[in-house]
């Protein structure tokens, strides 16, 4: 009985970390001392924690104060524009009420754009501005041209800032994540080899439960990789000679 291999480098960052979270929990449930892997498991844990830190940085790379402030600015401009259009719907001049009604239809279509995730909001504002461009005369009549120009400027500024921050910070973290993943993979491989060796020396019975449970998790992630590539589950066996 042996621990099955899996091509861990092919897992995405979230999947890779989750695999090791499952593995860590399994070892702790079965007791690393009883399994005879206390020393190698303790050596594995710092690499696991390093991967968690790197993943957290990637997750938070777009949530810096300046990006959040830029998003809040465009949200505020959008809400102000909505309020002005809403007020214009009650204007005492029929011509302006009619113009406001036409513009209101567009805003009703998009809803509360400010609640969307960053990238979706950027795209939605661009689309909204495109639709509003067809009503340039109505915007001029209601004095909304400056509002629209401000919203466009806010949206462009936010998008440029987010892209710049991703290039400078998240890009560096991705390089760090690559190194961390290699380290945690090596530590895991060391543990797997030790368990396999102990099972040979001491017999399978003491390790059967742990190995079977770990192999179930390995198979689940191997199936995930196979499905992503549009392959049958059996075809991934061809990769096992080079897997971790």
Alpha-carbon distance 90 to 59, whole Å? 45
Q: Which of 138, 168, 198 is a domain's end point?
A: 168
Domain check: are 99 and 36 in the same one?
no
State both tokens at 166.
């991703």
Q: What is the pTM of this model?
A: 0.56
pLDDT tens for 100-150 read 999 999 999 999 998 888 889 999 999 999 999 999 999 999 999 999 999
Give, in degrees to the nearest 5, the angle at Cα 238 between 185 and 208: 60
Q: For position 242, what pLDDT does the model report?
A: 43
pLDDT tens for 142-180 read 999 999 999 999 999 999 988 877 665 656 666 678 889
Domain check: are 75 and 111 in the same one?
yes
Alpha-carbon distance 204 to 209, whole Å? 9
Domain check: are 119 and 147 in the same one?
yes
Domain check: are 160 and 176 in the same one?
no
pLDDT tens for 177-201 read 888 999 999 999 999 999 999 999 9
Domain check: are 14 and 95 in the same one?
no
Q: For position 8, what pLDDT does the model report?
A: 92
């Amino acid at each position: 009985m042996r621990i099955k291999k899996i091509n861990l480098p092919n897992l995405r960052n979230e999947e890779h970390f989750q695999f090791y979270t499952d593995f860590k929990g399994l070892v702790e449930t079965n007791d690393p001392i009883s399994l005879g892997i206390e020393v190698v498991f303790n050596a594995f844990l710092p690499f696991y924690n390093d991967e968690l830190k790197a993943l957290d940085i990637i997750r938070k790379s777009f949530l810096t104060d300046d990006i959040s402030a830029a998003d809040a600015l465009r949200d505020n401009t959008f809400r102000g524009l909505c309020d002005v259009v809403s007020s214009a719907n009650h204007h005492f001049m029929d011509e302006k009420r009619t113009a406001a009604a036409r513009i209101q239809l567009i805003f009703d279509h998009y809803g509360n754009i400010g609640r969307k995730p960053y990238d979706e909001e950027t795209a939605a504002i661009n689309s909204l501005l495109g639709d509003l461009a067809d009503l340039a005369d109505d915007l001029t009549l209601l004095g909304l041209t400056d509002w629209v120009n401000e919203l466009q400027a806010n949206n462009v500024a936010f998008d440029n800032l987010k892209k710049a921050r991703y290039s400078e910070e998240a890009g560096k973290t991705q390089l760090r994540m690559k190194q961390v993943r290699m380290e945690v993979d090596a530590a895991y491989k060391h543990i797997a080899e030790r368990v396999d060796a102990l099972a040979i020396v001491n017999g399978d019975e003491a390790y059967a439960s742990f190995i079977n449970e770990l192999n179930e998790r390995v198979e689940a992630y191997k199936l995930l990789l196979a499905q992503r590539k549009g392959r049958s589950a059996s075809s991934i066996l061809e990769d096992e000679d080079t897997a971790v």
